[in-house]
Amino acid sequence: MTAEPSSNLGVLRALGIYATTLVIFFAIDLVWLGVVAKNFYRQHIGHLLGAEVNWGAAVLFYLVYIAGIVVFAVKPALDAGSAARALTHGALFGFIAYATYDLTNQATMRDWPVLVTVVDLAWGSVLTATVAWLSCHASSRMF
């Protein structure tokens, strides 16, 4: 039995939206991590960082996080025809996700700076809202 053309289009559309969101996220987050906030994190949590990045865990995080942005912010916004929904849902999803990480660190680590938590919560909210909004706009035109 073969899949109906409309279901294939749905899968292709979903993959396109995911890929669009992934590209937008990396473009923005790499500038933040590699340029804007690079010295900030070294200064405040450098003593907690490993010598090497665990790339397997990093890639898995990004794949899962991008899926979360698509499911919880981009798709509902596209369904509603509302880029504003992408912005608000993205901000909320980013805040919750980054709060999970940072507040857990705040609660369990001896030397986790409050400033890092505050900056990360703001960044997670702005980053995810921006990515969701841009992805919604791009995806509504392309897919």
Residue extents of the structural domains in the chain: 5-142
Q: Give the model's pLDDT for residue 38.
A: 84
pTM of structure: 0.89
Q: Give the model's pLDDT for residue 67.
A: 97
C-alpha closest to that of 25 among 139, 141, 129: 129
End-to-end CA distance of the chain: 26
Question: pLDDT tens per residue, the chain (143 residues)?
Answer: 454 554 555 899 999 999 999 999 999 999 998 888 989 999 999 999 888 989 999 999 999 999 999 999 999 999 999 999 999 999 999 999 999 999 999 999 998 999 999 999 999 999 999 999 999 999 999 88
